[in-house]
Amino acid sequence: MFNTTHPEVLDAVRRALEEDIGTGDVTTELTVPAERRASGAFYAREPMVVAGAELLPVIYELLGGVESIELLKHSGDRAEPGGCIARVRGSARLLLTAERTALNFIQRLSGVATLARQFSEAVAGTKCRILDTRKTTPGLRALEKMAAAAGGITNHRQGLFDAILIKNNHITAAGGVRAALSAVAGQTIPVEIEVRTLAELDEALECGARRLLLDNLTPEQASGWVARIAGRATIELSGGITLETARAYAEAGADFVSAGAITHSARALDINFRLALD
């Protein structure tokens, strides 16, 4: 689930370490003897779905390696307050230098995974699946989408390159729904089009659109549009959908509900690192 060999992941970890350490961890180097050994453990301090624990071996290896590391929770696992996520043993200096980078990643990614799980559970029992979006932290998309998947939702497109999503501004620039759909005819990657009015909806269906994005409708409006589509296309609903409203949109008949909040508004969760000398 968490691909720690992905080039973007490795690059993100390297950049995070460089950002934090710079020319050296002066506090640790001045106060902690080089030969001192220690053990450390990461503990959840609130309920969460863990994500990103698999980055710990990568972080420590980039700093020179540790003697042992044990992951007690993996991405997608639940952790309760006081639950241990991982244990590590090695140079006290290394463990202290890595502490903040390690916590930053796991806290942020566990926040995404936890919110994703809440959205997934909100639509349980319906046919609807939750999608994430491209509203991610610049440079961390691969990691945040892995965390979202660990929470149990479905990844939407990774970027502008792996699917065609014709949105309202594309329609305007192309000269209309028919012109936009004609321009992408024959493409082998997925094609989806946003429709803003019932006239655009009808035109898209007449042109053979098989996946429609309906944005900023109320659940009641969405239900009427779904009835009009009558199974001729799969339907994604989006636009300000929250945990409180997700189920209403799912019950309106959506095949997918997309929620940018899963990545752009997830709260970093509280995880503590405790060090003990050997």
Find, among 15, 120, 38, 12, the residue nearest to 76 by Cα.
Answer: 120
Q: Tell me, what amino acid is at 126?
A: T
What would the two tokens of residue 211 be? 């996946």
* Close Cβ partners of 179 (under 8 Å, ≥ 6 residues apart): none
Q: Of residues 46, 203, 215, 251, which has the active-site annotation?
A: 215
Q: Of residues 99, 144, 194, 200, which has the active-site annotation?
A: 194
Q: Of residues 37, 45, 87, 100, which has the active-site annotation?
A: 100
Whether 215 is a known active-site residue: answer: yes
Whether 45 is a known active-site residue: answer: no
Whether 73 is a known active-site residue: answer: no
Whether 8 is a known active-site residue: answer: no
Q: Of residues 37, 45, 135, 196, which has the active-site annotation?
A: 135
- Specify whether the CB–CB gap between 95 and 88 falls below 8 A: yes
Q: Of residues 167, 203, 251, 270, which has the active-site annotation?
A: 167
Q: Which residue has the tokens 């995404």?
A: 112
* Close Cβ partners of 199 (under 8 Å, ≥ 6 residues apart): none
Whether 145 is a known active-site residue: answer: no
Q: Could you list the active site residues?
A: 100, 135, 167, 194, 215
